[in-house]
Copies of this chain bind each other. A is one copy, B any other.
Amino acid sequence: MAKAKEVTMKTSIKYHQDDPWRLSEATFDPAHLGKYEAIFALGNGYLGTRAATEEANTGEVRNTFVAGTFDRLNEDEVTELPNLPDVFQVALVFNGQRLDLNQGKVLDYERSLNLKTGELSRHFIWRFGRNRYRITTSRFVSLARRHVMGQRIEVTALDGDATLKLSAGINGQVTNTGTQHFNDDVKRLYPHHILQLTTKTNESQVNFAITTQHRLSVPDDRLGYVKTEMLRRRLRATYTLPLTKDDPLTFESITTVYTSRDLDVAYKDRASLRRQGYQAALALEKMNFRQLLTESAAAWADKLWTPMPLEIDTDHARDQLAINFARYHLQIMTPGHDSRMNVAAKGLSGEGYKGHTFWDTEIFLLPYFIFSQPEVARSLVTYRYLGLHGARTKAADNGYRGAQYPWEAAWVDDGESTPVWGATDIVTGEATKIWSGFIEQHITADVAYGVEQYMRATDDEEFARTRGNEIIIDTARFWCSRLEWNPDVDRYEINNVVGPDEYKEHANNNAFTNHMAHWNLLQAMQLIDRLKTNEPAEYQRLDERLDLAALRPEIEERLGKLYLPAPNAEAIIPEDDAYLTLPTIDLKPYLTAGRVGALFDDYNLEQVNHLQVTKQADVILLLFLFERHFSKRVKLKNWQYYEPRTTHDSSLSLLTHTNFAADLGLKRKAYSYYRRARDIDMGTNMNSSDEGIHAASIAGIWSMTVLGFGGVRYLDGRLRIEPNLPDQWRQLSFCLWWHGQKLAVTETNQTLKIRNLTGTRVVEIDHAGASVEIPTHDEVLITR
């Protein structure tokens, strides 16, 4: 019998050497629909939509989301972002033959996402039998008008007259992998080809009005038979249109979405939203697709590209593409307009992780926004302030005090939203329990870490007083109650946790967790002391609210006796109490398998729990975040120890390894990790993005570029810049915000130039072990 072989396919992804703003699908790739649906997703932080093609395809996942509109089916499930009724599917039937790119012949195909303008476009010629049709499509979600999305299809018959049947509408038959979140829909048809569906989510009772206007280049009085149908959960209009040879026909649909979660809508009942949608459709009539797209492209320039340029001078065009790709996605995934919402692990580009927010925000995404769009960062940390109630409830439910943040967060009031059951155990055949919601407790310190970084990097005192300080205090209070006293060794410990290495499900004294908890306690104590000394009125106010006087000595006592795993004789920090005593296995076969989770073909989670195998940067992340707390030797030794034991089964791992390797001066290693991390979504692994892009990993592209190679770092309240460019880059230039000042930074491996563009305040940075002042409206040039 023959041996089964893995078969690799040629990739359909196309990079343009001369255009770092464009990413393309070079040939229609029906086997990898999910890849393009996710990486070509469109959005504006409010709306997000996957790039499912106009024509339906087997295996497609047709998602549109509105940030923050969480719903759950019933008490057995956790909330998730509901998949909205779709407006982008359009059936085109030429002379009775439905357009299907798997049939006939497709010529001159290219689908491209323009990262600069946010336009997704496609062109091809479809030949069926003896007839060829040229089809050009375009689509956008407006960055200028939050509620608006548009679509345009141009069709030309190249070989003779033909009849086109075009069906479009609003289709609420879509689900979240089979779960339906909407009910009680009301469908309406208005004059001027306006279709409307209003509906509401099952449990959270969020109202939605989706209104679409169809516009045809054929005047109404020459339109043939128009069939309008109200089907179950669906409205559809079918236009039978005459196609004259070589005479292009266009179809445009302009859609608005309004929900009762919207802060910019005053009246949120169904009837008002319906009126709102209809009025908006009428108001938009004066602009065509192209005008709306141009307006949106201008907003991209005004909001992002012009004020915050970021350029890499390199022959490696894909590196510049990557940073553009990353910033495009960071913009579309982030609901910066509403602090009741946060960034989802897959952005708004897929159903993966149900639209939930993780530690990814504070540890991986927040630095980008703090340094690039501090007003968005403020919204993201405010989300955690609004989540205090849920965090306090979780702490109380678990028998703790203070605020214990949920591992997965959804709507601000929801509290813990982590599902309890996950994938199958291959040994027992039963579902495995997801422990993260119960014991992956470092999230609470991570939130405090992000909040503190935001406050100190922006110097946003108003935020600190009204929101931030309370988070620092009550997360520390949680840790006070969480620490376990071990009388045998006369110390506090943190046992039975999941650390960043999620393979270890019941670890004792996970180094990362203990150090982060310690840091959290220390920040709170220093904050209390600082307030008491410098802001007695504010101290008084907070003390009345949070009883700081009682908390202060408690924290101090804990700090003195909390066990902090330290480097052993070989300078290795044990990941947890057991790790260094476990057997080691040869990881190579799994690391070279080229896919996530390969280890689990042979081991179940219980078994991996008892091996020296690490899922993602854990000790390494600790050393990266607190670089000034550990010696260079400890860093190098731990790198040498943990790197070969890490599977990178989390997309959060490679970027940390890049940045840490860059810090250690391991240039080639760093660039090699960079390329792997850069390509998690944008590369040629055609299935990695099926459930959506990897939000933290995409922020990681910026992080590796600016923090890792650019050497920019927030460290203990200070800004450090130490350029560390890879040999492949000649120059890196970017802007960043610090203490309310916008700095323009230009780096080579020999020079560092910083200009203070805002100029209302002198900025002080650390460089090469010294402090450097950037005067107002002046620039500093440092040469090595």
Residue numbers of A with Cβ under 8 A of B are 1-9, 30-31, 55-59, 73-74, 76-77, 95-98, 100, 102-103, 161-164, 172-175, 177-180, 183-184, 186-191, 202, 218, 222, 224-225, 227-235, 240-245, 247, 423-424, 426, 429-431, 601
Contact between chains at B429 and A2 (CB < 8 Å): no
Expressed in whole angstroms, the Cα–Cα distance for A58 and B91 within the complex equals 11
Q: In the complex, what residues of B have CB within 8 A of residue A190's CB? A: 429
Cβ–Cβ contact A429 & B233, under 8 A? no
A642 → B minimal CB distance (Å)? 29
In contact, A424 and B229 (Cβ under 8 angstroms): yes
Please measure, in the bound complex, the distance between the C-alpha atom of A235 and the C-alpha atom of B178, giving whole angstroms.
13
Q: Pick the residue among B1, B225, B230 that contacts A601 (CB under 8 A).
A: B225
Question: Could you name 11 residue pairs across A and B whose Cβ atoms are closer than 8 Å?
Answer: A1-B218, A2-B245, A4-B164, A4-B241, A31-B98, A57-B58, A175-B178, A177-B232, A179-B233, A227-B601, A230-B431
A178 touches B189 (CB 8 A): no
CB pair B59 A56 closer than 8 Å: yes
Q: Which of these, B2, B95, B102, B164, contacts A242 with CB under 8 Å?
A: B2
Question: What B residues does A6 contact at CB under 8 A?
Answer: 163
Cβ–Cβ contact B183 & A180, under 8 A: no
Q: Is the CB of B431 within 8 A of A58?
A: no
Report yes or no: B240 in contact with A163, Cβ–Cβ below 8 A.
Answer: no
Q: How far is the CA of A173 from the CA of B184 in the complex (A)?
A: 21
Q: Which residue of chain B has the shortest Cβ distance to A202 in the bound complex?
A: B74
Task: Name the residue on B nearest A428 (C-beta).
Answer: B189
Contacts of A202 in B (CB 8 A): 74
A740 to chain B minimum Cβ distance, whole angstroms, is: 45
> Please, which residue of chain B has its CB at the minimum distance from the CB of A6?
B163
A161 and B228 within 8 A (CB)? no
- Interfacial chain B residues near A430, Cβ < 8 Å: 188-189
* Complex interface: chain B residues within 8 A of A103 (CB): 30, 102
> Could you tell me if A230 and B424 are in contact, using CB atoms closer than 8 angstroms?
yes
Provide the residues of chain B in CB contact with A161, threshold 8 Å: 2
How far is it, in angstroms, between the C-alpha of A430 and the C-alpha of B189 when the chains are bound?
A: 7
Q: Which 8 A-B pairs have the closest CB atoms?
A: A173-B178, A2-B161, A7-B96, A189-B429, A102-B102, A230-B424, A180-B180, A4-B242
Is A231's CB under 8 angstroms from B183's CB? no
Check if A96 sits within 8 Å of B9, measured CB to CB. yes
Closest to A227 in B: B601
The residue that A180 contacts in the complex, of B76, B179, B431, with Cβ under 8 A, is B179
Q: Which of B173, B188, B222, B429 contacts A429 (CB 8 A)?
A: B188
A397 CA to B2 CA in the complex, in Å? 71
* Interface pair A163/B4, CB less than 8 Å apart: yes
Q: Out of B76, B175, B183, which one reaches A73, CB within 8 Å?
A: B183
**B178 and A233: CB pair below 8 A?**
yes
Report the Cα distance A6→B218, complex, angstroms: 18
Q: In angstroms, how far is the closest chain B Cβ from the Cβ of A52?
A: 12
In the bound complex, how far is the Cα of B8 from the Cα of A222, in angstroms? Answer: 23
A415: min CB distance to chain B, Å: 22
Q: Are B183 and A175 in contact (CB under 8 A)?
A: no
Task: Give Cα A74–Cα B3 distance, bound, in whole angstroms.
Answer: 53
Say whether B173 contacts A173, CB under 8 Å: no
Residues of B within 8 A of A175 (CB): 173, 175, 178, 180
Contact A187-B424, Cβ < 8 Å, known A5-B163, A174-B178, A244-B2? yes
CA–CA, A103 and B29, complex, Å:
12
**Least CB separation from A55: chain B residue:** B58
Choose among B3, B229, B232 the residue that contacts A178 (Cβ–Cβ < 8 A).
Answer: B232
Contact across chains for A77 and B183 when beta carbons are under 8 A apart:
yes
Q: In the complex, how many angstroms separate the beta carbon of A600 from the nearest chain B beta carbon? A: 10
- Residue ID in chain B nearest A101 by CB atoms: B102
Residues of B near A179 (CB, < 8 A) are 180, 232-233
**Given A2-B245, A31-B96, A56-B59; 6 other pairs, CB 8 A cutoff:** A1-B218, A30-B100, A58-B58, A102-B103, A175-B175, A178-B232
Do A74 and B1 touch (CB < 8 A)?
no
* Minimal Cβ-Cβ distance residue in B for A103: B102
Contact A173 B183 (CB under 8 A): no
- A1's partner among B56, B178, B183, B222 (CB-CB below 8 A) is B222
Contact A8 B229 (CB under 8 A): no
What residues of B have a CB within 8 angstroms of the CB of A56 in the complex? 58-59
Could you say which residues of chain B place their CB within 8 Å of the CB of A8?
Answer: 96
**Which B residues are CB-close (under 8 A) to A55?**
58
